[in-house]
Each structure stands twice: as structure tokens, then as C-alpha cells.
Chains A and B, each alone.
Chain A
């Protein structure tokens, strides 16, 4: 709940929340992979 309040997801509609969380997870996954590949 606090995560949603701090990132403003609390004000978005459910499908927008899903979009944001998917994009965030994709970004984290790609960043992890690239970090691994580079290191």
C-alpha cells in the first residue's frame, strides 16, 4: 500500500498499475541480465 502511495500507483486504474509494474519488472530483469552479461 505504501509502495502504491509513494509511486502514485494508488491513483492509477488497475490496468495502468499492471502496465507500470510489468514495465518495472521488465526493466529490473533486463538490467540484471545485462549486469550479469557485462560482469
Chain B
């Protein structure tokens, strides 16, 4: 739903006010009118200017004013409830001090879709046993001695979980994209990338030196048009035909809450005989009746996707990422990946955590806890979205997506909502420029299977109350 036009105009005005005062403060700091608390070593000569001061203009003059609402230190697992360490600031967020108190809050911001971010239960027992059996981490790469039995088991289990031939795991989700795309594409290849793809995909494509063309977010018509255009044009300048064409998309977009239109994408892939790289960082475990991600959600065959990628951070209460697909492809990646050559291998206890969660989700642990959590998450998501829609908020994304962006548009409204929620004992996450465009600031809820109905209702009541106070119920739709 588009926001009324006048809201956008006033939004730009609010940025003009911030920029004017930002320049005024810079002038005051430069002329010594205001004491500069940013740089401590101001009196020493010869310090080269590391970065252009303009590049940190936004951080210095806009983000600093609201940064108490971000990066709050926590003192517990990021579960359904979270313990936040309180901070005080005597000088408008230039410096923080800790009074030593903590705040218990409902956690509506962490990626903990299935609620496995726990420090009790059978899974933790397995992890503890692994620590006794192995050491805590391996300080070496996969190409040397980093491959432990826990990791081999995890790779076999991941391939079975996804229903493909083989898989390889890495110790970091971001690194899985950044250090492997170059093994798949290179110069003379064409990458069609969604305009809202994650920074790790953008970095991986840039490192691969392939030609990258972006298409409008989740718009398969625009994708097909761009694909046809590029296939006809060929490579820039020489117009030689492309060596390889690959489409890179995500399963769930964490800023938009949208779910990829997978059946349409597979149709395009088969029609133009190109490859698909599907990043399921947020969707693996979170959607689909069996928690297998968007393929499961749409009932598509995972073997139609050439490269399946995903992370274990959001639904498995762990860290790291995987690539899965044909065995020949995975063997090629194992040999040529930067991640396997330079990065430390995944810690065995993290691999055990993931294997245990995966076994639970597959129902092989003798309980149907995995299924219950998947169903609970789907119920919580639909309930929460429907309630917020009824209250008149503008939400982005698909009704089944556990990422629920609620649009605030104005940058100042984001910290206002977060601070007021914090007082009420609810933890929210906000996202504004440059993570979103100038006029689409938002608060983003991440629903979890471990949220109880009371927690969701408390958040909804709170949003209802401040929705009127801050005038953020922008939806013009008729409310049921």
C-alpha cells in the first residue's frame, strides 16, 4: 500500500532540517564553538584523515542522535524474552555509561523464528557433550585439518534435509555468499540480481567480476524483460554471448518481509536455460509445512534450483551457512572456495547444535516438537499480521512471512517507537536510511515460535496505543 503523498513531502522536509543542523554542528565543531567529543587526539599533528569527513556526515550528525535505540547490549540468549543492559547518556548519545541495571523485555526483534535460541534443553546437552568430546573451536581451515566428524555429519544431514545430493557448510553466513559466488561465475558471465539483495550477495557478485544487472524487487516480469534484453545484447562492448547466466534471489527478504515468487522464477529459468542461486538465509526452517524453506512452501522440487544457499543463524539458533546442490558442483566449490581455504572451519559444537535442531525438525528425535514449532510460528505470524492490519498499520511483505516490517516512514518516529516500547518492556528493532530508502523507515518485528499469545497481544496493544499517539496508522484501507 502506497503512503499518502503529503507524508513523503514532509519526510523529505524532515531530512532537510537534519542536514541543515548537521552542517551547522559541523561548522561549530570546526570553529571550536562546540567541543568536539568525537576525536580524542585532536591536538596531535600528522594524523592522516582516514576517511572523508563527508562520508561520516550521516553517522556523525544523524545516526548519533538516535543511536541509543540501536545496538543495545543484551545479557541473555536472544530468546522470546531478553535481558537488556541499561545505558545512560549525559551528552545526547556521544558517550554512554552503565548504571548496572537490566531490563527484562519481550524480544520482538531477534531472528529466532523457531525459538531454538535457548540455553536449556536436550539440544544443549548434545552441545555440552560435544565440548567434552572435541575442543571448543578448530583454529584451522577446511583445507588443512578443520574438517571434523561433526561437520561431515552436518553436511550429510543438510543434504538429506534439503532433498539434494550434497552440501557444504561454512562458519559464517555472510561469508558463505561473499566467498563462494566467485567459484560459480566470473568474467563474461551475467548475474541478474534482485535490487534488494543482501550486502553479502552484492559483495560476492562484485568479487566475482561478473557483469551484474539488477531487476525490480521480486518482479518476475521485469526479470524476464531484463534477461531477454541481456541475452540479445550479449556482453558489453564485444556483444559476445554470455558464458553463463545466473539469477540470484533470496527466499525471504529480511527488510521487506516478501517471499520470492519461486514457481515463476523456475519457469523463467527453464525457458531461458539459465541458473538459479537461491539464498534462503531467512526462509530455511521458517516457512513451508516441513520447514524446508520456499521450495517446501510452494511445493517445488529443490533439484530445480541449481544452488541452494542458506544460513543457520535465524532458525537454528546457531551461526554459519551452507551451499547445497549437485555433488559435482559442491565438490567444485569445496576445492575453489575462499571460505574453505582461508577461514576457520565451523566449530564442532555449533555443528552439533545445528544437527540436533535439524534432527528435531525432521522428527527423528522421537518427538514432534519440530513440527509443533513450525506450526506455532505459522500461527503466530498470521495472527500478528492480521491484528496489525486490522489496527490500520501499513505492513510490507507476504502474510506468511515471519518478518513483519511496519512502516513509519519518518526517521524520528523509529527511535520514538523503540524508546517507548523499551519503557514498556518490549524490545523492537528499527530500520532506516541507508538500510532502507529515505522515506521508508520502519519497525521490523521478527515473530518466533516461542512467542506466547500473551506476548503477541501485549505488543499489539502497545502498538495500538502508540499508533494513535504518534499518528502512524497510515493505512487508508477499510478496517475489518
Contact = CB atoms under 8 A, between A and B. Distances in A.
Given A2-B471, A6-B10, A12-B65, A20 B17 contact: yes
A11 B412 contact: yes
Interface residues of A, number: 14
A5 B410 contact: yes
Given A1-B469, A5-B410, A5-B470, A10 B416 contact: yes
B470 A11 contact: no
B415 A11 contact: yes
A20 B20 CA distance: 10
Contact of A13 (B13, B17, B92): B92
Contacts of A7: 10, 13-14, 17
Contacts of A5: 410, 412-413, 416, 470
Nearest to A11: B65
Interface string A5-32: 1111111110010001000000000000
Interface residues of B, number: 20
Contact of B21 (A2, A4, A6, A16): A16
Contacts of B411: 8, 11
Nearest to A23: B20
B58 to A, nearest CB: 13
Nearest to B25: A16
B157 interface: no
Interface of B: 10, 13-15, 17-18, 21, 62, 65-66, 92, 410-413, 415-416, 469-471
Please provide the 10 A-B residue pairs with the shortest distance between their CB atoms, ordered closest to farther.
A8-B14, A10-B412, A11-B65, A8-B17, A5-B412, A11-B412, A8-B18, A8-B412, A2-B471, A6-B10
24 contacts: A1-B469, A1-B470, A2-B470, A2-B471, A4-B412, A5-B410, A5-B470, A6-B410, A6-B412, A7-B10, A7-B13, A7-B14, A8-B14, A8-B411, A9-B412, A10-B412, A10-B416, A11-B18, A11-B66, A11-B411, A11-B415, A12-B17, A12-B21, A16-B21
Interface of A: 1-2, 4-13, 16, 20
Given A7-B17, A8-B15, 18 more contacts: A2-B470, A2-B471, A5-B412, A5-B413, A5-B470, A6-B10, A6-B14, A6-B412, A7-B13, A7-B14, A8-B410, A8-B411, A8-B412, A10-B415, A11-B18, A11-B411, A11-B415, A20-B17
